[in-house]
Chain A
Amino acid sequence: GAVVSQHPSWVICKSGTSVKIECRSLDFQATTMFWYRQFPKQSLMLMATSNEGSKATYEQGVEKDKFLINHASLTLSTLTVTSAHPEDSSFYICSARALDRDGEKLFFGSGTQLSVL
């Protein structure tokens, strides 16, 4: 399947600082990427849809000013958690659509564990 690279895999930061997470499609171009959040023992919650060259679409209840998404190229989307607080500590995962023999599918990055102290 297609490869989606996510970096960093884990990050620890102080409360009030900003953290940037990168998501790259390595062997294909992704006009659309998705950002998810996952708490322990829970399923993935879609936060926003990232569209190359345009503004991201956020799900209801997700603060646009807190979770800044930039999709400046066909292979890179970034999520910046601004002024992070302990309640933002979570596992963040990106995904991208790619075509394979069965059709268009969603492939995921390896995730980023964010811990805010």
Chain B
Amino acid sequence: QKEVEQDPGPLSVPEGAIVSLNCTYSNSAFQYFMWYRQYSRKGPELLMYTYSSGNKEDGRFTAQVDKSSKYISLFIRDSQPSDSATYLCAMSPNQGGKLIFGQGTELSVKP
């Protein structure tokens, strides 16, 4: 079993839809949770960063962490074609430490 599981998709949605991306994990020591967006042939870009359980909102993006269920989510509201990318979840037991990545979910938002 992988430490971090993420559905690779691909996921295709119409413009304006709400997108839900998820990861599950097995290591209860993970405390720091991140979502990265990666465009084709580019490095990952940090989107959301959360510590422990709870919600965090930034514009159209909301990150949720449920440590009791070992489950994290990223919601994208009013999705745009420019949101089309691969979204990677990542987590670490300590701040700035070695990140464990999910496989990435490929998202396509159709105009």
Interface residues of A (CB under 8 A from B): 1, 4, 6, 32, 34, 41-44, 46, 49, 91, 93, 95, 97, 102-111, 113
Interface of A is mostly: strand
Could you tell me the distance between the alpha carbons of A26 and B88 in the complex, rounded to whole angstroms?
24
B46 CB to nearest A CB, Å: 6
Inter-subunit contact B41/A91 (CB<8 Å): yes
In the complex, the number of residue pairs spanning A and B with C-beta atoms less than 8 Å apart equals 55
Known: A106-B99, A108-B44. 15 other contacts (CB 8 A): A32-B96, A42-B103, A43-B102, A43-B103, A49-B98, A93-B43, A103-B49, A103-B51, A105-B46, A106-B46, A106-B96, A108-B45, A108-B46, A109-B43, A113-B41
Report the count of interface residues on B (CB-CB < 8 A).
22
Inter-subunit contact A44/B101 (CB<8 Å): yes
